[in-house]
């Protein structure tokens, strides 16, 4: 692809990123200004938006797992019995697998299914749990995501310059898209972390919490299910 055009796209995306970066301060801001009604409303609607977006993506990509099972099983039969194999078909399985991980992780975070060490956590009060999520977001999740996004610029840029595809001639020519998902992954995780930290801040200041999506257990509620099970 045209290097100048790509450079321009990259720079614009980076500029957009810088513009939105202050949003990450929202949970802290709401702790400092607990009485700002407007801030609470904005936060509530942002949580709703992020939650439903990530949930919707997760609900969609989870079906790729069914395709993965059927696809790999089918290709085993084809190879073993009829001696037929299609590179595109085999590679598609890897695309499905990687897409589920990269795009489904934020839905997993939303559902609280990323495993925690809960020897002590399980005994904490709901308030302390909210505090753990809030501090963890700033100290651990933000660096985790931002470092991936920042360092992936070259990695993804290079893939786009050559519109990188499979090393096999008859393979899928979409490696550059899959590589882009690495950044999308970090971005979605960052957004989900922000939603959870905002929820924690609302909880800590005693505000009503926005509803959680369907099938998903409430956060910081008294009867919270143990996560990671």
Sole binder of another protein in the list 16, 143, 168, 173 (CB under 8 A): 143
Q: Quick one: which of 9, 98, 126, 209 contacts another protein (CB under 8 A)?
A: 98
- Determine the interface stretch with another protein among 28-36, 38-46, 118-126, 203-211 (rule: CB under 8 A): 118-126
Is 156 among the residues that bind another protein (CB under 8 A)? yes
Contact status: 224 vs another protein (CB under 8 A): no
What is the rounded end-to-end Cα distance, in angstroms, of the chain? Answer: 45
- Give the integer Cα–Cα distance in Å for 149 and 14: 10
Candidate ranges 14-22, 30-38, 39-47, 74-82; the one touching another protein (CB under 8 A): 74-82
Counting contacts by CB under 8 A, is residue 141 touching another protein?
yes
User: Please, which residue, 41 or 173, has the CB nearer to another protein?
Assistant: 173
CB 192 within 8 A of CB 54: yes
Nearer to another protein, 40 or 145 (CB): 145
Task: Transcribe the chain into DSSP letters.
Answer: --HHHHHHHHHHHHHHHHHHGGGGGHHHHHHH-TT-HHHHHHHHHHHHHHHHHHHHHHHHHTTHHHHHHHHHHHHHHHHHHH----HHHHHHHHHHHHHHHHHHHHHHHHTT-S---HHHHTTS-HHHHHHHHHHHIIIIIHHHHHHHHHHHHHHHHHHHHTT---SSTTS-S-HHHHHHHHHHHHHHHHHHHHHHHHHHHHHHTTPPPPPPPTT-PPSS-TTPPPTT-
Q: How far apart are CA 68 and CA 177, in angstroms?
A: 19
Token duo for residue 43: 């936060």
Considering only residues 23, 31, 39, 116, which one is a binding residue for another protein as defined by CB under 8 A? 116
Does 86 engage in binding with another protein (CB under 8 A)?
A: no
To another protein, the closest distance from the beta carbon of 218 in angstroms equals 17
Report the nearest approach of another protein to the CB of residue 184 (Å).
Answer: 12
Q: Counting contacts by CB under 8 A, is residue 73 touching another protein?
A: yes
Among 56, 77, 163, 221, binds another protein (CB under 8 A): 77
CB of 208 to another protein, least distance (A): 25
Where do contacts with another protein occur on this chain (CB under 8 A)?
A: 58-59, 61-63, 65-66, 68-70, 72-74, 76-77, 80-84, 93-94, 97-98, 100-102, 104-105, 107-109, 111, 113-122, 124, 129, 132-133, 135-136, 139-141, 143-144, 147-148, 151-152, 154-156, 178-179, 182, 215, 226, 228-229
């Amino acid at each position: 692809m045209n290097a100048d055009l790509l450079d321009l796209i990259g720079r614009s995306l980076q500029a957009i990123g810088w513009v939105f970066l202050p949003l990450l301060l929202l949970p802290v801001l709401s702790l400092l200004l607990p009485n700002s009604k407007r801030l609470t409303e904005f936060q509530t609607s942002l949580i709703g938006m992020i939650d439903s977006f990530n949930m919707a993506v997760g609900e969609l990509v989870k079906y790729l797992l069914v395709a993965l099972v059927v696809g790999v099983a089918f290709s085993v039969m084809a190879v073993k019995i009829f001696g037929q194999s299609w590179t595109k078909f085999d590679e598609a399985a890897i695309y499905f697998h990687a897409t589920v991980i990269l795009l489904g992780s934020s839905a997993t975070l939303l559902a609280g299914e990323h495993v925690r060490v809960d020897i002590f956590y399980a005994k904490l009060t709901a308030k302390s749990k909210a505090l753990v999520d809030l501090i963890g977001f700033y100290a651990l999740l933000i660096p985790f995501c931002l470092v991936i996004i920042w360092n992936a610029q070259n990695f993804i840029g290079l893939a786009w310059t050559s519109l990188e595809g499979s090393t096999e001639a008859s393979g899928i020519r979409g490696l550059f898209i899959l590589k882009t998902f690495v950044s999308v992954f970090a971005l979605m995780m960052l957004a989900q972390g922000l939603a959870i930290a905002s929820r924690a801040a609302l909880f800590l200041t005693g505000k009503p919490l926005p509803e959680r999506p369907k099938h998903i257990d409430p956060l910081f509620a008294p009867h919270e299910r143990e996560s990671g099970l």
